[in-house]
Chains A and B, each alone.
Chain A
Amino acid sequence: MSMLIRSVAVAALLGALAPAAPALAQQHQHPAAAGSIALSPAWTRATPPGAKVAGGFFTIENKGAAADRLVSATSEIANIVEIHEMAVIDGVMRMRALEKGLSVAAGGKMELKPGSYHIMFIDLKRPLKEGESVKGELVFEKAGKLAVDYKVMPVGAPNAGMNHKH
């Protein structure tokens, strides 16, 4: 229950802050406009029937002079979207929600990829079909909102490459 209250509180806080963030940034000396964040083509994978979750992947490039942070994400296909970290350590798969989001250093890159950081689509509204595109939005602390289109790759695709042979 306290988890739910906290989630709601965080969501409310983010909702309140998100529109204000770009405005604040613009008043700053070096505005971290959405232009300072570049995204590689985003992708996800077709889901097996009955799957309630999927992972979203892309690389964030921060061309700005200040560090920025991906604080939240939404998508038309999922009721809940979280930013997760995943790793296989000593043969054990571990996954964590990053409640503070994902920081990208000034001039740095952050890769969201299978087996690592990813966008987690939870409570999918419908299965994802190979070949379609699904819309989403990312919210950065400084750069604000960015629209993102996830291309749906085959089940088991290792990356966004189009030359996957399966």
Chain B
Amino acid sequence: MVDTSQTWMLALDTSNTLASLALGPVGDDTGALGAEIVWNAGRNQTTTILVEVDGLMRLVGITPGQLGAVAVASGPGAFNALRVGMSIAKGFAFSMQIPIFGVGTLDIAAHVVAYAGHPVRAFVEAGRGRIVVGDYRMTNGRLQLRGALDHRTPGELGDGLLEPTVLSGELSETDRQALKEMPNVILPPAAAGRRRASALLDLAAQRWRNDEADDLLALEPMYIHSQPVVAAKPERNP
């Protein structure tokens, strides 16, 4: 049973169509969970996120005044979807004068499967058919990103694995079947490889304990391009 009289951290992940929110106490009960929601927001992040934040707070029985920290998935992902979460997280940090923690989206995807000691290949569908991939390895008991992020197609997600590696991210059933046959691929059940805001809450709570908040003004989403996606054209200026 969590104590609703203490302060709370709100975690928002709007990296792509899969949206997730979580509320957990910070302080004595850090690590506990008040409530969590994961849903397919499609392109409706702007119309749904705050409605669900409100619902989650009612469910837990707290008010915005009880927020003590806010955590947000900082990408990579779909640019506009990321900006919805970032605008809301910054809105809470500014209006309630609380610390903000930006956590990499692939860190969250890797964290949900970080228990078997295996390396992890985390990936996120980043809009326009792009998939951004990062390779993680267990070092000193923590998963650390190795090398640079890159773009792959679903068919290439199992390429170049030299040892048994857990794949974590959203996959279609067809892609799952194809990847399952590849050497060194460990596929967790679909539900276990899905990003969840409680994982974001875990990672941000560690940083909260270490007093490692982000700079509120400088924090922005991580924009990973696969190619020139924006042609510079004079645009209509309203």
A and B together in one complex: no
